[in-house]
Amino acid sequence: MITLTEKAVNHVKKMLTEQNTPDSAVRVGVVGGGCAGLSYKFTFEEKATEEDQVVEQNGVKILLDPKSYLFLNGVTIDYHSDLMSSGFTFHNPNAKSSCGCGTSFSV
């Protein structure tokens, strides 16, 4: 399955509130591209499709399409913020390698 850390859950809830869409879900996916071959996709959507796996964690709904689920099963998503940068980080046990910035990977 997929896991959001407490920091990630709090930041997602904050973003949904700021966008006035508190009932939306987070779509986490994988698309071709990036320097390592595959890139993470992170968007907000109002509802799931019939094919989606829906996971709810601490009040946050996560949507996964079947193809992305193959690459993201076991992923932990965290949120970091410091003086230099902020953003979501993906800890993917399925990745054989990843790029230096952490936004793309290969399997």
Among candidates 67, 74, 28, 73, which has minimal Cα distance to 51? 67
For residue 44, give both structure tokens. 């907000």
Q: From the CB of residue 57, how many other CB atoms can be counted at a distance below 10 Å?
A: 18
Return d(Cα 68, Cα 60) in angstroms, integer.
18
Render pLDDT for 32-86 as a digit per residue (tens, 0 to 9): 866 657 888 889 999 999 999 999 999 999 999 999 998 899 999 999 988 888 8
Measured CA to CA in angstroms, residue 7 lies from 13, 26, 84 at distances of: 10, 15, 18
- pTM equals 0.83
